[in-house]
Amino acid sequence: MNAGNNERKDSVRNIAWLICAESIRLKYFENLAEKVHNGEKEDAIRHFLNPKRCIESWFVRTINSNSSGNPEQKYKDTFSAEFKRVLQEIRTCHSYEEIKKFVNNYMIQVDNVDYKLDLYGQITENDLKIFQDIIEKELETKGNNHPPRREPFQKPSDDKSIMERLGCTEACYLCGALCWGSRDHHENVDETKIHHSSHQSAGLACVTNDTDELVATPCHNRTDDTNMWYFNKNESTKRSFAKVQDFSDWKFDDPHCMHVFNDLMCWFFDKLHKDLAKSRNLKPASYDDLKKNGCLSLNYNDIISTLKTKIGE
Ligand SMILES: [Zn+2]
Ligand SMILES: [Zn+2]
Ligand SMILES: [Zn+2]
Ligand SMILES: [Zn+2]
C-alpha cells in the first residue's frame, strides 16, 4: 500500500509549478486570468468574493486529480518484487531460527500480510525442506490474495508537506489579497503569526468609499484618516482605529511581500470591478481612481510573461 501511496504523492511533488507558494498561486491566477481574458468571468468573480475557499478547493481538486504516475501498478510491482525476494530468502535459510527471525522481522514491514511464525514443536533438521515448502505455500496464498485491493490510495491532499506548499490562504479583510505567510503561521507565538500580504485594490474585496464606489487603492496606500467600511457596519471606522480594533492579526502598512502580483491584480480589478459592484449592489470604481492606481491600459500577455520570468518559471 505504501508503495502506491508514495507513488501518488511523489508524482504530485514532482510537478514543477507545485514547488512553492509563488508558482502555485501564479498557476492559479494565470488560469483565472486566461478565463477572464476569454470573457469567462464567473470563476474569477467567485474567487474574489471568497478567496480562501476558492484557492483551497482548487488546489485540493488539482493535486488529487493529478493522473501522472500509476499508483496501482507501482504497488503491484513493488509487492511482487518484494515477495520474490522473501521466498528466496526463506529458501536459503539453514535453520528454523533463521527462518523464524527473517519472517517475523520482515512481515512487520509488509502491510496487511498477517503472518507470524511461532515454533514450539520439535522439528528435526530433516524436516527443514518440508517446512520451507509449507511457509512458501502459505505466504503465496496470502500474497495472491493480497494485491487486488479496492481501497483507494491516500489522497495527496492528506499529506501535510504537500498542503504546506500552498502557504497561508487567509485573505485580507480589506482587499482580499491572500496572505504570504507559511501554512499555519498564525499558530506561531511570536510576531511571525501576523498575516501579511501584498495588498491589492480594495475593491477586489468589494470595499467602498463613502459614496459606495469600489476603491482601487490597495490597503497600504490608504491613509490613516480614511473612513473604512466593512463587516456591514452602519458606520465607518477610521483606518487608524480599524487596524488596532478589528484587524490586529494583519499587517497593512508594509507592502513588501510579493508585489510581483501587483499588476495582475490591477488588471483583474479593471476587468471585474463592474461585475463585482453589481454582485453586491455597489457602484463600480471611478475612472480617476482606476487611473491613479495604475489599473488602466495594462496588457494581459505582458503581465503574465513578466510574472513568469520573475518567479522563474
Ligand atoms: Zn489588504
Ligand atoms: Zn497568514
Ligand atoms: Zn518587495
Ligand atoms: Zn512577508
pLDDT at residue 126, rounded to an integer: 66
Q: Cell numbers at residue 83, please? A: 515477495
Tell me whether strands 227-228 and 237-238 are parallel, antiparallel or unpaired: antiparallel
Q: Residue 297, by phi and psi: left (phi above 0), alpha (psi -120 to 50) or beta? A: left
Tens of pLDDT, residue by residue over 158-189, are 999 999 999 999 999 999 999 999 999 999 99
Q: What CA–CA distance (Å, rounded) separates 1 from 76?
A: 9
Q: Are 199 and 262 in contact (CB under 8 A)?
A: no
What would the pLDDT profile of 256-285 be if each residue is shown by its tens digit? 667 789 999 999 999 999 999 999 999 999
Nearest by Cα to 239 from 256, 255, 217, 219:
219
Q: What is the DSSP string of 117-145?
A: ----S---GGGHHHHHHHHHHHHHHHHHH
Point out the ligand nearest to the CA of residue 183: 2
Domain count, the chain: 1
In the reported structure, the alpha carbon of residue 259 is separated from the centroid of ligand 3 by a whole-number distance in angstroms of: 6
How confident is the model over 134-150, as a mean pLDDT? 67
Inter-residue contact 154 to 163 (CB < 8 Å)? no
- Of 169, 222, 216, 217, the C-alpha closest to 197 is 169
Compute, in angstroms, the gap from residue 254 CA to the centroid of ligand 3: 9
Q: How far is the CA of 182 from the centre of ligand 2 (A)?
A: 7
Is position 24 within any domain? Answer: no
- Domain assignment present for residue 127? The answer is no
CA 257 / ligand 4 centre spacing (Å)? 5
Q: How far is the CA of 28 from the centre of ligand 4 (A)?
A: 20
Is residue 101 predicted with pLDDT exceeding 90? no
Q: Which three cell numbers stand for residue 14?
A: 514532482
Quick one: cell of 254?
A: 508594509
**Which ligand is closest to the CA of 185, given by its number?**
2
* Within-domain flag for 182: yes
Residue 85 resides in a domain: no
185 or 8, which is more confident: 185
From ligand 2's centre to the CA of 170, what distance in Å? 5
Average pLDDT over residues 108-131: 62
- Ligand 1: centre distance to CA 251 (Å): 8
At 224 the pLDDT is 94
Quote the domain boundaries for residue 263: 167-311
Name the DSSP class of 228: E
Contact, 168 vs 184, CB < 8 A?
yes
In a domain, 221, yes or no: yes
Q: Which ligand is nearest to the CA of 220?
A: 1
Query: Are 129 and 57 contacting, i.e. CB atoms less than 8 angstroms apart?
Result: no
Q: How far apart are CA 105 and CA 87, in angstroms?
A: 14
DSSP SS3 for 312: coil
Confidence of residue 71 (pLDDT cuts 50, 70, 90): low
What is the structure's pLDDT at 119?
Answer: 55
Q: What is the arithmetic mean of pLDDT over 1-12?
A: 73
Whether residue 59 lies inside any domain: the answer is: no
pLDDT tens digit sequence for 190-240: 999 999 999 999 999 999 999 999 999 999 999 999 999 988 888 999 999
Lowest-pLDDT choice from 112-126, 165-179, 281-295: 112-126
pLDDT-based confidence at 8, cuts 50/70/90? confident
The single residue listed with the C-alpha cell 473612513 is 227
User: What pLDDT score does 27 carry?
Assistant: 93
- Could you tell me the distance, in angstroms and rounded to a whole number, from the CA of residue 185 to the centre of ligand 2? 6
Q: Which ligand is nearest to the CA of 195?
A: 2
**Rounded to an integer, what distance in angstroms lies between the CA atom of residue 26 and that of residue 49?**
19
Task: Mark the residues whose beta carbon lies below 5 A from ion ligand 1.
Answer: 172, 174-175, 177, 199, 219
Residue 230 lies in a domain: yes
Query: Does 100 reside within a domain?
Result: no
